[in-house]
Structure 1
Amino acid sequence: MFVFRQLKNAHTVLILVLVLSFVLAGCQTNQKPNAGSSGPSGTSSAGDATQAAQGAEKVLTISWPKDIGPLNPHQYAPNEFFAQGMYYEPLIDYGDGGQLVPKLAESWDISEDGKTYTFHLRQNVKFSDGSAFDANVVQKNFDTILANRDMHSWLGVIGQIDKTEVVDAHTFSITLKNQYYPTLQEFAVVRPLRFLGAAGFPDDGNTANAIKNPISTGPWVLSEYKKDELAVFTRNDNYWGAKPKIDKLVVKVIPDPEARVLALEKGDIDLIYGEGVISLDSFVNLRDSGKFETSISDALASRALIVNTAKGPFADLDVRLALQHAVNKQALVDGVTNGVEKKADSIIASNFPYANVGLKPYDYDMEAAKTLLDQAGWKLPAGKTIREKDGKPLEIELVYMGDDEVEKPMSTAIQSDLKQIGVQVKLTGLERQLRNKRMEAADFDLLFWGTYGAPYDPHSFVSTNYEPGYGIYESQQGLPMAKELHQQMKDVLLTTDETERQKLYTSILTTLHDQAVYLPISYLTSIAVYPKYVTGLKFPAHRDETPFDTLDIQK
C-alpha cells in the first residue's frame, strides 16, 4: 500500500511537470522575436499582437552615422556626444529656457566672494555596478579631469579651478581662482564634467586614454556592443530618477543618410533624430508622405556670416548695413533648408539666457541697401552692373565649407542677392582645415560660421569674440568701440551681480547688432522622424542631449 501511494504520487508529479513544461515553452516562444520579420522591432505583426497582450519588452531602434565610441566621459573623439550625454550624468542639468536644475547635486551654495561652490550631493544614488555615488568618487573624477587641463582648456571653468575638496560623504566643494559666472552652466556640458564609477577607472587613475568599463549613474546600461555595427542599451531599473518608458534602446550604425531613410521606411529603425542626420530634402519627403510624424526643435544655435570690419569694403558701417538689407534670409531658409531651419534676426536667439534684449530685425529691402551703398560712395556707373569707388570695383570674397550641403547653396544665393545691388562676390569653398586657417588669420570678407548653442552660449560666444586667435576678435578691429566692447565681454564673465550681467549682455548684443558685425542667417534645429506608435518626443533644451528617456512605444 505504501509503495502504491509512492508510485501514484510520483505519477502525479510527473504529469504536473509535463504540463508546466508545455506552459513555459509556450510563454518563451511568444517572447522570442521572429527572425523573418521586417517590423521595426524585428517581430512579425502576429508576434507584435501576442507580445503586446503579454506586456512584451519595448525596444526602440534608432540609427546613428558613427559608432558610439568607448563611452569615456572624459574623452572626446571617437566618443559620440549623444551617447555620452544619454549615458552619464552631471551635477547640474540645463533645462528649458536655460534654467539650471539639480541632477546629481540636489542643491548648491556660492560663497559671498563668488569663488567657492559647495555641492550637496544626492544621496542613495548607485552606479550601474552597485557602488555608491559620493563625494569621494566625485573627487576621483575631478582628479583625472584636472590632471589633463590642457586637454579640456576649451572649457573656461577648467582653467579657473584652484582646488577641490571632499567636505563629507555627500558634500563637495570647488574653489576658483577668480569669479566666473558661467561655472554652473558649464557644469551641465556633456564632457568632461560627468562621472564614471570607480571600478571603471584604469589602474593608473588617468582616463585620458582609456577606461576599463563604462560605469554610470544614468538611466541606461550598455548590454551589448558590436563595434561599427550596433550598441544595445538596457533600462537601468535601479536608476535613482524617473526611469525610461522603453526597456531597450538599440543604436544601429548606418553611415549613409539615404540608407537611414530607407531603414525607417522598411521598419528596420523606429526613429531618425538629430542635426544633419539626413538631407533636408529627405526630411521634407518623409514629412509630406503622411506615413510618419515629424518634429523640429526650437533654435539650438545660429548659422551666420562673420563680417570682417578690419579691411576692405566692410570697414564701412554703411556697407555692412547694406549687406543686412540685401540678403533675403527667408528665401534662403525656405529654398535651401525647406523651412527646417528658421530665419535668424539676431546672432544669439532670444530663447537663450540674457539674449532677449529687444533687437529690431533688419528688413529685406533692396532699395535701402542700394541707398546705403550710394551713401558710402559706391556708385553704379552707367552701363555697368558692378559698383565702383575711386575707379575700384566693389568685390568681396565669401568663404564657406566646400562640402557643406547647406553652406554651398546658401553662398550661391547670397552671391545672386548681392549682385542685384551691384556687388561682385567671389565664392571660395574650402575643406575644414584650410577654412579654419583662413578664419584664424581673419583672411576673408565674409565667412560662414556657427555659434556653439546651448548650454555654451552666450558666454562661450562672447569669449570667442574677445580672445585673439580665433579670427573673430581680429575681424572686429575695424569697430571704433572695439576696445570697450571687448572689455565688456570680459567683464560679463566675471560679474556676480545678475542685474549688471544682464545690462552688460544687452550692451554687447546691441552693439554687435547695430554695428552689423554678423549677418545672422538661420537658427539650427534638430529634427525627428518616427512612426505614429512612437510617442512622448520632447526636444531637450541642451543641444547635445537626447529625448530617449521620455519616449514610449504604443502599438
Structure 2
Amino acid sequence: MLNKAKFMMATGLITLAMASTSLAADHVLKIAYQEDPKTVDVQMTQDFYTLPLNVYDRLVEAETSGPGQSQLTPGLAESWEVSQDGKTYIFHLRKGVLFHNGEELTADDVVYTFDRMLDPKTKALSTDILNFVDGATERLDGSATTVPGLQAVDKYTVKIVLKEPYAAFIALLASPGASIYNRKFTEPLGDKYGLTPETTNGTGPFKLTEYTLNDSQVLEANDKYFKGRPKLDQIVIRVVADAETLRLLFESGELDVFDIDYASSQLPYFAGSDQWKDQIRSGPRVGIYYYHINQALKPFDDVRVRKAFQMAINRQEILDKNFYGKGKLENGVMPRGLTCYAEAKPIEYNPQKAKALLAEAGYPNGVDIKLTQASNWSSRWSDMNQIIQAQIKEAGFNAEINTMDESAYFAARKAGTVDNYTQNWSADFNDPDNFFYTFFSKSGTSVRGYNNNDEQVFAALDKARSMTNPEERCALYQKMTDRIVQDDAAWVPLFSLDHNYVVQPRVKNFVVPWNGWSDMSYYKMEVE
C-alpha cells in the first residue's frame, strides 16, 4: 500500500510546479523520469536522452516514420553529398539557425563539437560514433591536437573525411550523442557545461529554463526554432522513482504520459480498464532480448550443445509470463524494424531433440551449466533465469544461477570467462552494424564473452561496413544471420517487445519512438 503522505507530497510538488508556470504557459506537457539525468551534456551520458533530444539538434535526424520504423531526414544540415569512394562527406548547413543564446550556427560549431568529443580532456562517453573519422584515434589518445578529417570549408559547409568507408556513418550522426554545440558558449565552461540552465545552450525546439537536481526540469518553447515554434509551451519533467507513485500521479492527472516500461506490471491493469484501455499507445521497439553463449567454456565449445540450448528454451512462455505476450519472437540478429530486417529461419522449441543432441555430444545423463546475473540488475533478469533454469532441465541442462557483483561480471565478460547471461539491446542508430558488429565482430565477440571465432563472419562484417550498395549489403547481413544463429548457434535470440504508453486524452500526436528508448523528441506533440 502506497504511503499516503508520500503520494500527497509528490502530487503537491507537481501541482506547485505547475502553478508557478501556468500563468505564462497554456499548453504544458507533464512527464516523468525515474532518475535524474545529472547533466544536459549529451557527450557525458549514454542513458538519458530526453533533454538532449529536445534541447539540441543534429546534422541529420532519425524520425519515426511508422511502427518501429525510422527514416533519416535533414536536420541542421539541409543536404549532404557522399563521395564515390564513400569516404568524404560534405554537409551544407541551414543558414540562419540560432542557438538559444542568439548565436548563429556555423560550420565551426560542428567541427568544435566533434573535436570536443574527441579531446581526451573531455572524457566523452560516445566517441565511438566518430571512430571512422580520419585522425579521430590520434586525437583521442592524445598524440594529436587536431583532427584532419573534420574541416569547416566555409561558414556553412562542413567536410568530414573517413579513414575508410563506413556505410552507417549518416545513421550514426542522427544519434543523440552527435548533438551540436556552440563553440563560443561551450568552450569557456569546460566541464561545467550542461549542469544548469545557465550553462546549457542548443538549437533545439525547447530551452532548458529550470533544473532542480533530483526533483524536476522545465523546458520552454523556443520561439525562434528554425522548423517553427513547438505547439507545446512547456514540458515539466518530474523525477519520480517509485512505480506505484508514477501510476497514481498519472491517474490523478498530474502526469500526461505513463511509460509502461517504468512499471510493466501495470499493463494488465490499464489494458483491462474501461477508462484507459483506449488510451494505450503501442509500437514495436527496435531491440532484442537474447541469451548469450560463451563458446570458450565447456560444454558450449560443442555446437551440438549450443543448438540443444537454443531448442531447450521455450521463448514464447517467457514472453507470455514476463511480458504479457506483448512482443514477437525473434530468430536472428536483427530485430523487426531495423534496416535490412527480414524474417529468419525459426528456432524450434524441442526439448527431446535437444536431449538427443546432448547425448550425441557426450552428455547422455545431462550436463551442469551456470547462468549468470549481476546482483544489482532488476528482478526481470532473475525471473527470466529462473524460468529458463526450469525449462532447460527437461533437455538435460542442470543449471545453477550464479549471482555476482556487477563489476566482477563486466571484468569476466571482458576477459571472455563469463558464463551465459540474458540481456537486451536496443538500437542506438538504425543500421544492422549496431547489432552485428557489437556482438559478432572480432572485437565484439571477444569483449562480450561470446568467443564465436568465425573468420568468415569477421570478414563479412568488416566488408559490410564499407559496402555502398544497400541491396547487396542487406543480403550479406541476412546470409550472416543464418550462419551466426543456425550454423554457429552463437546465441539464443529471444524476442523483441512492444513499447507501451498510456496517455491522457488531452495529449495529441503522441508517437511511440522507433528505437525503444523511453526518450523522445516532443516537438510535434500537442496538448489540449
**Does residue 401 of the first structure (1) align with residue 374 of the second (2)?**
yes
Match of residue 358 from structure 2: 373
**Does residue 536 of the first structure (1) align with residue 509 of the second (2)?**
yes
Offset of residue 57 of structure 1: 0.5
What is the rounded CA distance, in whole Å, between the counterparts of 2:123 and 2:466 in structure 1? 22
CA 1:83–1:236 in structure 2 vs 1: closer, same or farther (change >3 Å)? same
Give the alignment of 1:34-73 within 5 angstroms.
42=15, 57-73=26-42
CA 1:178–1:469 in structure 2 vs 1: closer, same or farther (change >3 Å)? closer
Partner SS state of residue 71, structure 1: coil
Letter in 2 for 1:397: K
Deviations 1:313-338 (A, max 9, x none): 22222222222222111110111122
What is the rounded CA distance, in whole Å, between the counterparts of 2:215 and 2:400 in structure 1? 43
What is the rounded CA distance, in whole Å, between the counterparts of 2:24 and 2:185 in structure 1? 34
Offset of residue 509 of structure 1: 1.6
Match of residue 78 from structure 2: 106
CA 1:277–1:156 in structure 2 vs 1: closer, same or farther (change >3 Å)? same
What is the rounded CA distance, in whole Å, between the counterparts of 2:62 and 2:497 in structure 1? 18
What is the rounded CA distance, in whole Å, between the counterparts of 1:303 and 1:113 in structure 2? 36
CA 1:268–1:535 in structure 2 vs 1: closer, same or farther (change >3 Å)? same
Deviations 1:31-61 (A, max 9, x none): xxxxx9x799849xxx9xxx9xx99711111
What RMSD over aligned residues (CA atoms) do the two structures have, in Å? Answer: 3.1
Contact kept? 1:62, 1:250, Cα under 8 Å: yes
Contact kept? 1:40, 1:268, Cα under 8 Å: no
Match of 1:476 among 451, 454, 459: 451
CA 1:66–1:445 in structure 2 vs 1: closer, same or farther (change >3 Å)? closer
CA 1:371–1:524 in structure 2 vs 1: closer, same or farther (change >3 Å)? same
**Does residue 282 of the first structure (1) align with residue 262 of the second (2)?**
no
Match of 1:502 among 474, 489, 512: 474
Contact kept? 1:72, 1:207, Cα under 8 Å: no
Offset of residue 296 of structure 1: 2.8
Letter in 2 for 1:158: N
Deviations 1:71-105 (A, max 9, x none): 1233227x832211222111011234343211111
Once the two structures are overlaid, the 10-residue window that deviates more, 284-293 or 511-520, is 284-293
**Does residue 138 of the first structure (1) align with residue 149 of the second (2)?**
no
Match of 2:462 among 474, 490, 495: 490
In structure 2, stretches of 5+ residues that fail to align are 1-8, 136-148
Offset of residue 206 of structure 1: 7.2
Letter in 2 for 1:265: E
Letter in 1 for 2:131: I
Letter in 2 for 1:61: K
What is the rounded CA distance, in whole Å, between the counterparts of 1:499 and 1:333 in structure 2? 32
Structure with bigger gyration radius: 1
Deviations 1:460-518 (A, max 9, x none): 333332243764675334x6xx1121121222112333344223312222211112211
Letter in 1 for 2:304: D
What is the rounded CA distance, in whole Å, between the counterparts of 1:244 and 1:340 in structure 2? 33
Match of residue 48 from structure 2: 80
Match of residue 251 from structure 1: 237
Deviations 1:427-455 (A, max 9, x none): 11234222212222222442123234141
CA 1:189–1:533 in structure 2 vs 1: closer, same or farther (change >3 Å)? same
What is the rounded CA distance, in whole Å, between the counterparts of 1:364 and 1:40 in structure 2? 51
Match of residue 415 from structure 1: 389
CA 1:311–1:70 in structure 2 vs 1: closer, same or farther (change >3 Å)? closer
Match of 2:429 among 431, 455, 469: 455
Give the alignment of 1:251-400 within 5 angstroms.
251-273=237-259, 276-278=261-263, 280-292=264-276, 293-356=279-342, 358-379=343-364, 387-388=365-366, 394-400=367-373
Match of residue 446 from structure 1: 420
Offset of residue 69 of structure 1: 2.8
Partner SS state of residue 44, structure 2: coil
Once the two structures are overlaid, the 10-residue window that deviates more, 88-97 or 202-211, is 202-211
Contact kept? 1:126, 1:240, Cα under 8 Å: yes
CA 1:204–1:237 in structure 2 vs 1: closer, same or farther (change >3 Å)? closer
Once the two structures are overlaid, the 10-residue window that deviates more, 455-464 or 295-304, is 455-464
Partner SS state of residue 161, structure 2: strand
**Does residue 194 of the first structure (1) align with residue 185 of the second (2)?**
no
What is the rounded CA distance, in whole Å, between the counterparts of 1:495 and 1:370 in structure 2? 42
Letter in 1 for 2:410: N
Contact kept? 1:115, 1:180, Cα under 8 Å: yes
What is the rounded CA distance, in whole Å, between the counterparts of 1:60 and 1:171 in structure 2? 37
Report how many aligned residue pairs link the two structures. 492
Match of 2:128 among 127, 143, 155: 155
Letter in 1 for 2:181: L
What is the rounded CA distance, in whole Å, between the counterparts of 1:41 and 1:534 in structure 2? 18
Partner SS state of residue 209, structure 2: strand
Offset of residue 242 of structure 1: 4.7
Contact kept? 1:318, 1:373, Cα under 8 Å: yes
Once the two structures are overlaid, the 10-residue window that deviates more, 280-289 or 117-126, is 280-289
Deviations 1:388-434 (A, max 9, x none): 4xxxxx11111123332211111111111111122201111234222
CA 1:489–1:288 in structure 2 vs 1: closer, same or farther (change >3 Å)? same
Offset of residue 234 of structure 1: 1.1
Letter in 1 for 2:443: P
Letter in 2 for 1:101: T
In structure 1, stretches of 5+ residues that fail to align are 1-35, 380-386, 389-393
What is the rounded CA distance, in whole Å, between the counterparts of 1:87 and 1:217 in structure 2? 7
Contact kept? 1:92, 1:101, Cα under 8 Å: yes
CA 1:109–1:56 in structure 2 vs 1: closer, same or farther (change >3 Å)? closer
Identity of aligned residues (%): 23
CA 1:204–1:535 in structure 2 vs 1: closer, same or farther (change >3 Å)? closer
Partner SS state of residue 331, structure 2: coil
Contact kept? 2:370, 2:419, Cα under 8 Å: yes
Once the two structures are overlaid, the 10-residue window that deviates more, 311-320 or 229-238, is 311-320
Deviations 1:359-391 (A, max 9, x none): 211132233323333433432xxxxxxx24xxx
**Does residue 466 of the first structure (1) align with residue 441 of the second (2)?**
yes
Offset of residue 117 of structure 1: 0.4
What is the rounded CA distance, in whole Å, between the counterparts of 1:397 and 1:201 in structure 2? 49
CA 1:496–1:161 in structure 2 vs 1: closer, same or farther (change >3 Å)? same
Letter in 2 for 1:339: G
Offset of residue 529 of structure 1: 1.8
Match of 1:520 among 490, 493, 498: 493
Letter in 2 for 1:72: D
> What's the TM-score, normalizing by structure 2?
0.84
Partner SS state of residue 451, structure 1: strand
Contact kept? 2:132, 2:166, Cα under 8 Å: no
> What's the TM-score, normalizing by structure 1?
0.81
Letter in 1 for 2:385: S
What is the rounded CA distance, in whole Å, between the counterparts of 1:94 and 1:539 in structure 2? 13
Contact kept? 1:73, 1:196, Cα under 8 Å: no
Contact kept? 1:128, 1:217, Cα under 8 Å: yes
Letter in 2 for 1:319: V
Contact kept? 2:336, 2:496, Cα under 8 Å: no
**Does residue 225 of the first structure (1) align with residue 211 of the second (2)?**
yes
What is the rounded CA distance, in whole Å, between the counterparts of 1:208 and 1:463 in structure 2? 33
Offset of residue 160 of structure 1: 2.7
What is the rounded CA distance, in whole Å, between the counterparts of 1:154 and 1:452 in structure 2? 18
CA 1:184–1:294 in structure 2 vs 1: closer, same or farther (change >3 Å)? same
Match of 1:123 among 59, 72, 95: 95
